[in-house]
Structure 1
């Protein structure tokens, strides 16, 4: 039983982690091109701009998650008309909202740049990057939405192909625009934007083909549909939005307590953190469908086994990642920062080692949170997710900067992840103790009904 189950786990794990790596690697390559092709300040400026992209992405997540859930429900009920109307209405609504965001952000570009934490040295870079990203934000929102809905339409492999197309396009155009044509951060923004355009067109072409179940149809405006979509997508929306809010908070704290160079160091950390986080998300997403399936089938032993091998996989991966970060901190830093900038280079490598302590705990929090989602315990999952992504980070940042000043910033994530892990383990033990008590009660009841003679 366990051998076949382990094979199933690996079958889901591989593609899931690979898909996350595609996204992570092209984001990292983007940073490498900017750091090497333009300079360290430009690298920091792109990182300062990231919360805006997080916000745009969060809007897409809000509508995409809710709409895909509704669409899948309608398809399950064989109600194709309602599925098509929801699909078409959702796409129209997102395009409308994207246009409003684009116009508003272009008008308020200076204010947004300062709000994100741009300094006098980085503000022009930030404004250049955000202006171009704002022009393309319709495609950012539409691309992810169609990627999610194409899965609900029954074509999950197309989502991976779309992501690969976007990644290859972005990397290729980064090289052309940033390195060859010297367009600077504008080139990086154009590369990212054009990649999203191609991704959107790829997914749109699917829904225009005969093999697609979902089609574009006429629809009526419905507040009730919007309400249902938003309520279903709100949890994922807040989780994604909190990433941007924490980044803003970190950027402002770094400038206040340390100085502008700290933003450059934090940029390097953020790129590596993305790869590590996405790896752990890939492991979690690989385990979730199997856990949900066997939980629904009431096969508790298999659920327990899947949780154990998921935790073991996270443990091994965490040790490998942490060890690699400590041993190869200088090599990793050199990908983004020229070693000739001796002081900045050595400082970045040092604080990167401090931050990498968080990688020992991050994966466990994600897998336990994912486990609770898989077994229909959303409250426990929400406590873990919001704790590690927002609440405990803010509390830890406030306390540690009071105690240690700027140095406290670099260990904030490690402290918040560790604290979250203690809470997550508490919730996990509470859940299994409850299950054990219910099982013993059930066994006791059976003995009373069917006494042994």
Structure 2
């Protein structure tokens, strides 16, 4: 792995900063679509983007499941000085994801309306949901491959290059959104097409790196190795679940809002989901940023460095969680103003209020994500999976069900805070047991 060697803290920062920026850029893809759609089409079309988002997040979850699992295995192999085997594992991963991409695209394109109904499309927004899906689904494979390439190029020791590539793709997406939605009036389909085209450029740029002379990880011939795939899946499931959680939360909240509130509240939640994506992606960026470093030193049996990197990760989470929560509490009106006009008085005030409530969950979420990421990096998949399943599925469903039963629609906005707090209890139990075991 290409390390500068100045200090461990320097390498930590060099890896997590580009990782966080890359996560922001991925989150901003759909957020930019939402802003242009809200301003250039309508608020109803904005809810359609939000309804389709769980599908996009599911694609990212598949990608990151294999990307993080592969990254962990590849980093350990590089730490063991086994570059040839690392290249075989990398190539097998990309081939497998390409096969998945083709199958997913075909299946969804043949069942567009069923997928739209499953995601929560209503009579009011069905037209927009179908239009967005029809334009975005053909690019499904590029979403999967681009995220995987982005993770693995960092494992190769080029985090700054990963940041440059995803940033270039995001800038292109903004430019295309402006022309396709605002100037050429191509509607919500134009926004989806802009995102798809930007991903074509991303893939091309990644291939230039992996097919060129730079870096350690290369494409090479391989034989299918099912045990290695299973090892990748076990290591990647926690990160895949974390990635999927954003889409799952959106899906569950959309259903609860339609049941307990109204379609106007969907607009409020669409705005919240964008903010939540950026906050959670920041925590994920810290976790994914330091995972290759931890796995590399874990492969060298240097546990002192692994533990020190974990301390750095926790400090980074404390800073990020306070910054995001404080920013939302103080700047909710400004955030909502990106999507809604202030003359929509009632909806504007409601959206700002529920954003402030939802943002309290950011104070806790990062600890669950970063400690879970550490467990993934040192191949403790059971603990990592339980943490990820807890915060994104089990505890969230329990919290959402309990609070809506007691408080009705108002309980929806408090459920993420309760879910993260309950999960943190399990996270700390696993964490202290792990420390006791390795220090024994």
TM-score normalized with structure 1 length: 0.84
- Whether 1:148 aligns to 2:173 is no
| Structure 2 residue aligned with 1:348 | 351
Q: Counterparts of 1:75-224 in structure 2 under 5 Å?
A: 78=82, 80=84, 86-211=89-214
In terms of Rg, which structure is larger? 1
1:413, CA displacement in angstroms? 0.4
- Whether 1:36 aligns to 2:74 is no
1:407, CA displacement in angstroms? 0.9
Give the total of aligned pairs. Answer: 432
Task: Point out which structure has higher relative CO (alpha carbons under 8 A, 6+ apart).
Answer: 2
| Structure 1 residue aligned with 2:390 | 387
CA distance in 2, matches of 1:214, 1:4: 24
- Whether 1:328 aligns to 2:306 is no
Q: Deviations over 1:79-128 (max 9, x none)?
A: 63x65555545434333332222121111111110100111111111111
Q: Identify which range, 229-238 or 48-57, moves more after superposition.
A: 229-238
1:327, CA displacement in angstroms? 1.8
Distance 1:96 1:33, change over 3 A: same
Q: Deviations over 1:21-60 (max 9, x none)?
A: 3333444333222222222111111111011112222232
CA distance in 1, matches of 2:229, 2:432: 38
- 1:36 touches 1:338 (CA, 8 Å); kept in 2? no
Distance 1:151 1:390, change over 3 A: same
Q: Deviations over 1:251-278 (max 9, x none)?
A: 1111111111111111100111111112
CA distance in 2, matches of 1:86, 1:287: 20
1:402 pairs with 390, 402, 405, which one? Answer: 405
1:358, CA displacement in angstroms? 0.8
CA distance in 1, matches of 2:65, 2:314: 29
CA RMSD of aligned residues (A): 3.1
SS of 1:360 mapped into structure 2: helix
| Structure 2 residue aligned with 1:339 | 342
TM-score normalized with structure 2 length: 0.86
| Structure 2 residue aligned with 1:59 | 62
Q: Identify which range, 37-46 or 89-98, moves more after superposition.
A: 89-98
Q: Identify which range, 172-181 or 218-227, moves more after superposition.
A: 218-227
| Structure 1 residue aligned with 2:281 | 278
- 1:60 touches 1:142 (CA, 8 Å); kept in 2? yes
Gaps of 5+ in 1: 439-453
Distance 1:85 1:20, change over 3 A: closer
Q: Counterparts of 1:358-437 in structure 2 under 5 Å?
A: 358-432=361-435
Distance 1:173 1:358, change over 3 A: same
Distance 1:225 1:119, change over 3 A: same
Gaps of 5+ in 2: 1-5
1:350, CA displacement in angstroms? 1.1
CA distance in 1, matches of 2:214, 2:94: 20
Q: Deviations over 1:335-374 (max 9, x none)?
A: 1112222221111111111111111211222233234345
- Whether 1:244 aligns to 2:247 is yes
1:156, CA displacement in angstroms? 3.9
1:426, CA displacement in angstroms? 3.2
Distance 1:325 1:280, change over 3 A: same
| Structure 2 residue aligned with 1:450 | none
CA distance in 1, matches of 2:308, 2:93: 39
Q: Identify which range, 335-344 or 189-198, moves more after superposition.
A: 335-344
SS of 1:144 mapped into structure 2: helix
